[in-house]
Amino acid sequence: MAGLGSCYEGSDLEGKKKDSIYHQVKEFLDKGETVAVATIVSVKGSTPREVGAKMVVTAWGEILGTVGGGCGEADVKREAIEVIRTRKPRTVRIDLRETRLGDKTFHQIRSGTPIRIELGAKELAENCCVIKSRIRSRDDAQKVPLKDAKAAVEKMLKEDQATLLTKARAMKETNTVEPKDYASLKTALEAGKWALCAWDGTPETVAKLKADTQGGTYRCFAFDAKEDAKDLKDPVSGKPSAFKKKITIAKAY
């Protein structure tokens, strides 16, 4: 018995329908959301997913299903969001083959690999390894004896974490604004800023913001935020704040 693109037998058909990707897409569409559906149309060689596999991507980057994971899927996700923005379909080609060192290193960096340890014939002969950080220059690569590699990696990770935290805090301070009205809030989100605002706590206001800004959402309350929103109004609805703290508003990135 066919149901929503999948075949099932027995009394669990309705439950299977609800779990299918098509049912979930319908739920998004019923809510007025815009989604893109990525479908594998051809493959060559050994691949993690076959022709027909699908992945649904929302305007704010949420995904349902998979086309194989990894860097290739990240590329498809970015292209899908662009399709939603432009309303123009496109074909994406993903090459999963082993490539030259520069390309492989780039994909490792893009996927979040923090440390690269090089151990070739030359290093083995010298009983050492070369340790590189993704956030440091090539000149900062460290050549260390194998017996000291664990300590060197731990030290590098600790230092890099501190560096990234400092940069992240500086970026947050630079890019966070406190708009006084809805027009200013929309302008800030369009410019990629984060906004601190009062929130009335209603799902209707959440839906309005998302629709008006193509993905703007109420994100989170900072643990250490000041309790200075009690007498403020939500810039989207104009209603009084339902919380003591301001909430962070941002678009998907």
Q: What is the CATH number of the domain that holds 245?
A: 3.30.110.30
The pLDDT value given to residue 37: 92
Name the residue among 120, 43, 38 with its Cα closest to residue 75: 38
The pLDDT value given to residue 176: 95
- Based on the fold, state whether residues 128 and 58 are members of the same structural domain: no
Q: Is 122 inside any structural domain?
A: yes
Name the residue among 35, 99, 38, 98 with its Cα closest to residue 69: 38
CA distances from 158 to 2, 142, 168 (A): 54, 15, 15
Name the residue among 37, 77, 72, 75 with its Cα closest to residue 61: 77
In what side-by-side order are the strands of the sheet with 115-118? 115-118, 128-133, 142-145
The pLDDT value given to residue 26: 87
Q: Under a CB-based contact definition with an 8 Å cutoff, are residues 157 and 134 in contact?
A: no
Q: Under a CB-based contact definition with an 8 Å cutoff, are residues 175 and 204 in contact?
A: no
- Domain with 137, as residue range(s), is 114-170
Q: Is 104 inside any structural domain?
A: no
- Based on the fold, state whether residues 182 and 166 are members of the same structural domain: no
The pLDDT value given to residue 10: 43
Q: How many domains does the chain have?
A: 3
**Mean pLDDT, 10 residues at a time, the chain of 253 residues:** 34 50 83 90 84 90 85 87 91 72 60 81 94 88 96 95 93 93 95 95 95 92 91 96 95 73
**3-state class (DSSP) for residue 193:** coil
- The residue type of 197 is C
DSSP E strands, 134-203: 142-145, 176-177, 194-197
Q: Is 237 inside any structural domain?
A: yes
Q: What pTM does this model have?
A: 0.50
Q: Is 133 inside any structural domain?
A: yes
**3-state class (DSSP) for residue 54:** strand
φ and ψ at residue 115, rounded to 5 degrees? -130, 140
The pLDDT value given to residue 5: 33
- Based on the fold, state whether residues 33 and 62 are members of the same structural domain: yes
pLDDT in tens, 213-238: 988 999 999 998 899 998 999 999 99
The pLDDT value given to residue 71: 75
The pLDDT value given to residue 17: 47
